[in-house]
Amino acid sequence: MKPLIAGNWKMNGLQSAKQEIERLIEKFSGAAPDDRDVLICPPATLIAGFAANYSDEAIQIGAQDCHPETSGAHTGDVSAEMLADAGAAFIIVGHSERRADHGETSDIVRAKAQAALRAGLTPIICVGETREEREAGEALNIVGDQLDGSLPETGAEIVVAYEPVWAIGTGLTPTLEDIGDMHDFIRSKTPEGTRLLYGGSVKPGNAGEILAITNVNGALVGGASLNADDFYPIIKAAPGAM
Ligand code: PGA
């Protein structure tokens, strides 16, 4: 399976952030890697400009969220069709920050994943347990319930990202064994061929060992995707010829 290294910029990035993508492309020195997919999900304001300028450079552009409906009276929201129109190829749905900050339930996440598919885009569906849930020995149950509730029924490509909430932005990561166990479990519950990303404090220093775990097919990277000096070694760490 071709690894997918995805950057989630969250609410970071002005127009000037294009310099960071240009620095990343420079590091590829013209020879774009074809044995791994590289994706950047900037804030919505940057999607169209980035997609227009960089999609030819083997960097795909994605979104961080969408509304389930195609159009209508939903002030401030953006539909999957609009994101497709802007040049996005993927949409992250169900990130724990949205589940927590916006009360997104698994039903809503599934509707958003279906919206992405309806627009011809690939949803990256996020799941993950909190620290309390892991300490209570509930991590597999919680993630299992999130998968049961959030995954759309489809024959089209989906991506699943396992992001333990307590590992996001904290510098903490599960043991390699715990990541492996969770990914084996997620593999058993997802359609064949689904790429499974690990996310939560992926850095240049730990990317190689995480990306080498069976059933880890890539990474969803927050903080370290914001600058090319950190993101490039993570992209390079994915198994392959690069
Ligand atoms: P982090 O974020 O890499 O900054 O921990 C990951 C994410 O939230 O997708």
pLDDT tens-digit profile of 73-91?
999 999 999 999 999 999 9
Measured from the Cα of 225, ligand 1's closest atom is 3
Q: Quickly state the pLDDT bin for 208 (edges 50, 70, 90).
A: very high
CB 200 within 8 A of CB 171: no
Please determine, for residue 68, whether its predicted confidence score (pLDDT) is greater than 70.
yes
Backbone angles phi, psi at 202, to 5 degrees: -75, 130
Pocket lining: 94 vs ligand 1, CB cutoff 6 Å: no
Ligand 1: which atom is nearest the Cα of residue 203? 3
Tell me if 14 is assigned to some domain.
yes
Residue 102 tokens, joined? 């916006």
138-182 pLDDT per residue, tens: 999 999 999 999 999 999 999 999 999 999 999 999 999 999 999
Cβ of residue 221 lying under 6 Å from some atom of ligand 1: yes
Give the catalytic positions in this structure: 95, 163
- Give me the number of domains the chain comprises: 1
Q: Identify whether 150 is part of a domain.
A: yes
pLDDT in tens, 96-138: 999 999 999 999 999 999 999 999 999 999 999 999 999 999 9
Q: Which amino acid is at 227?
A: N
Q: How confident is the model at residue 198 (pLDDT cuts 50, 70, 90)?
A: very high
| Residue 72 is assigned to a structural domain of this protein | yes
| Contact by Cβ (8 Å): 49, 18 | yes
Q: Taking a C-beta distance cutoff of 8 angstroms, is the pair 57, 25 a contact?
A: yes
The number of CA neighbours under 13 Å toward the Cβ of 196 is 25
Residue 15's pLDDT is what? Answer: 96
Residue 179 lies in a domain: yes
In a domain, 91, yes or no: yes
Say which CATH number the domain at 142 has: 3.20.20.70
Paired tokens of 236: 């390079």
Output the pLDDT for position 240: 85
Please check whether residue 34 lies inside any domain of the structure. Answer: yes
Distances 63 to 21, 72, 98, 181 between C-alpha atoms, Å: 16, 20, 13, 29
Q: How far is the CA of 138 from the centre of ligand 1 (A)?
A: 22
Tell me if 242 is assigned to some domain. Answer: no
Residue 123 lies in a domain: yes
Structural domain harbouring 166: 4-237
